[in-house]
Structure 1
Amino acid sequence: MNLSPKRQQGLTLISIAFILGLIAFFVLLVLKIAPIYIDHSKVVNALAALEETVDIQTKSEQEARSILNKRFTMNYVYDVTKDDIKVTKRGNYIKVEIEYETVVKIFGNLSVLAEFYDFIEVGQE
């Protein structure tokens, strides 16, 4: 029984394996990278909450750091260290900057580096 090539349809086993491999790779990337951005949203929310704190511009640098550290602990944010937080205080003006990076190993020697920089300014210089 000879079938003409025009009537043969479908994927070969190799093409199915290749497509499944691509899908698996992209699912792995999403599962590894999504938590980085979820944690970053927690950092942004902590900064927004700090900005909304009553009389934040009258608080000292240590008090601002303490408020941030409490929020980070409550939200399980471990990527930001105390060295990543810079607080500038002048009179009734306060600026809080957070600059940090996160490295996540994908597999083997392949890693993803994400760098973040966020800041708030409250009050007037």
Structure 2
Amino acid sequence: MDREVFETYDDDALENRILRSSLTACIALGEQARRREERRLHEAAQDKKVEGLIRKNSEAVKHAAQLEEALREAKAAAEKAKADGIAEGKAEAERAAAEAAKKAADEAQTAKERAAAEARGEAV
């Protein structure tokens, strides 16, 4: 009788050790999966941030191109006014070209600074 009790006790102890080690393995796998998911979410957030910066930079480049086009048009209008020999129109066109050039330069510089600040991660 004592021998049967002892063998049953040994079987139960072995089963408990097996269950404990299985539970430990499951917990470790769960932790591993959680860390993997956290890493994936972090990488996805970083990718989204980079995509946003790229999009903002593209928009700034497009805006700068539009300003350059407006500047070229203003200069062309000034050249046309000069060619036509209209003194008043010439002076006005030169003023408009100068204003457009200054505005374009200011806006391009602002866009460049904003894109640089965003690339560094600063708030704009």
Settle same-fold status: TM greater than 0.5: no
**Larger helix proportion, structure 1 or 2?**
2
Structure with bigger gyration radius: 2
